[in-house]
Amino acid sequence: MSVHSRDVGTVFGWYSSSKLNPSEKDFMQNGMFCKSGLAYNSNMNEATCVNTSGIWFQQNQLNQPYKCSPKNPNDLCTIKFPIPSNQTNYTSQGSLSSIQTKCSCALTDQLSGFCSNIVGTDQYAIYAS
Q: Where are the chain's structural domains?
A: 11-128
Q: Summarize pLDDT for 10-69 with one digit per residue, the tens.
A: 999 999 998 888 999 999 999 999 999 999 998 889 999 999 999 999 999 999 999 999
Predicted local distance difference test score (pLDDT) of residue 75: 96
Higher-pLDDT residue of 44, 96: 44
- What is the DSSP pairing of strand 39-43 with strand 11-13? unpaired
CB 12 within 8 A of CB 6: yes
> Would you say residue 125 has pLDDT above 80?
yes
pTM of the shown model: 0.89
